Homo-oligomer: A and B are copies of this chain.
């Protein structure tokens, strides 16, 4: 942004454009208005991986239009999250997309090569947490990361957790996904030597309050190095995990 601003000022200086046009340009934004949504054509994800569509609440028609606009703007890869089976079917009829039903993820343009510093471990407390975990794992892969899935390693069976000590201790980032009491984040936070991103899930019943119990547990983790994202937000965890796994690569 700063760069465009400087160019603009230089054009004003050189008389290439008028003051009023510059003023206008400074307000112009590189997004395209489809009426129901503004698409950010510039905001391409930093490591070159692609663009993201949040599928929930969008019709098949809207998503097809957005995908076409993105592709025609030069976008190579598109990730669509929160896609149900029916809409996925509608989309695959219209665009070349791979659908991953367990994570409710559609991917246009395939996965990129791995580009991170190391591996991202995606661990879950139980099998019911797998849909959120797959949203996280597929997002991380879409963003160019090597992912190790450790599912059903909840702390009530500690030997299952400990069986994967090596992967946990060698990871660049750990995503700890759990519902109910959410203790997995604390245990992994104590074992891992890297940042742990905790994802509470809405799995559970009664006093789990649709993920609130797990969320509070994770926020109160006595282990250092743990931070938390919204309930069921596998995408958000993977997005931040990818930033971390690509850290120190700027220059």
A positions within 8 Å CB-CB of B: 1-2, 5-6, 9-10, 12-13, 15, 19, 22-23, 26-29, 31, 36-38, 40, 43, 46, 52, 56-58, 117-118, 125-128, 130, 152, 154-160, 162-163, 165-166, 169, 172, 180-183, 185-187, 189-191, 193-195, 197, 200, 202-233, 235-237, 239-240, 243-245, 247-250
Q: Which residues of B have CB within 8 Å of A214?
A: 220
Partner of A36, one of B127, B194, B202: B127
Contact A221 B156 (CB under 8 A): yes
A142 to chain B, nearest CB (A): 13
Contact A163 B248 (CB under 8 A): no
Contact A183 B186 (CB under 8 A): yes
Contact A224 B239 (CB under 8 A): yes
Q: Which residues of B have CB within 8 Å of A40?
A: 157
Q: Which residues of B have CB within 8 Å of A43?
A: 157
Q: Which residues of B have CB within 8 Å of A213?
A: 213, 216-217, 219-220
A249 to chain B, nearest CB (A): 7
Residue of B nearest to A159 (CB): B29
Contact A118 B250 (CB under 8 A): yes
Asked whether A231 and B206 contact (CB < 8 A) given A152-B38, A243-B225, the answer is yes
What 11 new A-B contacts, CB under 8 Å, besides A158-B191, A181-B182? Answer: A6-B19, A13-B19, A27-B162, A36-B127, A38-B160, A58-B127, A195-B243, A197-B227, A206-B219, A206-B232, A224-B239
**What would be 20 A-B contacts, judged by CB atoms less than 8 Å apart?**
A9-B23, A13-B13, A13-B15, A27-B163, A27-B166, A29-B159, A29-B163, A38-B152, A57-B127, A156-B186, A156-B222, A180-B220, A183-B217, A194-B243, A202-B206, A206-B232, A213-B216, A216-B216, A224-B240, A247-B247
Which of A125, A193, A200, A227 counts the most B-chain CB atoms under 10 A from its CB?
A227
Contact A228 B219 (CB under 8 A): yes
Contact A205 B232 (CB under 8 A): yes
Residue of B nearest to A117 (CB): B248
Q: Which residues of B have CB within 8 Å of A237?
A: 227
Q: Once bound together, how far apart are the Cα atoms of A156 and B187, in whole Å? A: 5
Q: Which residues of B have CB within 8 Å of A15?
A: 13
Q: Which residues of B have CB within 8 Å of A240?
A: 195, 224-227
Residue of B nearest to A62 (CB): B127
Which of A9, A37, A207 counts the most B-chain CB atoms under 10 A from its CB?
A207
